[in-house]
Copies of this chain bind each other. A is one copy, B any other.
Amino acid sequence: MLAAAELMHVQGVAATTIDEVLAASATSKSQFYQHFEDKAELVYEVITQRADEVLSWQRLRLEKVDSFRGLYQWRDAMVQRCALRRGLWGCELGSLAAELSDTDDRARASLSEYFNEWRALLAAALERMRDTGILREDADIRALATGLLAAVEGGYLLSQTGRDPRLMQAALNMAIGHVASFAAATEPVS
């Protein structure tokens, strides 16, 4: 499964054949078809597994965030992750979403759900900041969380294309800077 996920991330889902997956994972055709009905089934499993990884990583770094300092630590972890994975730059979910959304509606719907979960993790952090008075009452948590997630995905794509993690940093600085414009007057922001 890991072999399939890596191949699909690097070469794209459409370009990855079942034979390549079998070779890379030292699996026989009969073993494969015991587990998966067809390639679409495998793709769906790859999405589920990738999403579990991404969301676990995000949950670990977001579930205690309740301050701007916490948001900036999350930003630093994201930028570092971008830079550490040289050669495999894109977001694991974003690259699947870009390739599959227009052609595989089951994959698209599933990826959309996982993006919603990711956005909910961001929204929960912002809600904690609003509940403790760091953010103003009128802050639109849902819109801010959508903005943060868009900055993550746009930042990944620009960093991947430009081979420059500072593009991720600029994208996240913008998004957190926008959140900061909803800071209550008393809170120091950076």
Residues of A participating in the B interface, judged by any CB pair closer than 8 Å: 9-15, 87-90, 94-95, 97-99, 101-103, 108, 111-112, 115-116, 143-144, 146-147, 149-155, 157-158, 160-163, 167, 170-171, 173-175, 177-178, 181
Contacts and interface: CB of A to CB of B under 8 A. Distances in A.
20 contacts: A15-B15, A87-B102, A89-B101, A90-B102, A94-B98, A95-B98, A97-B160, A98-B99, A98-B157, A108-B161, A111-B161, A146-B174, A149-B154, A150-B157, A153-B157, A154-B155, A174-B174, A174-B175, A178-B178, A181-B181
Q: How many chain copies does the complex carry?
A: 2
A171 B146 contact: yes
Nearest to A171: B150
A181 to B, nearest CB: 5
B160 A151 contact: no
A11 B99 CA distance: 8
A11 B14 contact: yes
B158 A153 contact: yes
A147 B160 contact: no
A150 B177 contact: no
A157 B160 contact: no
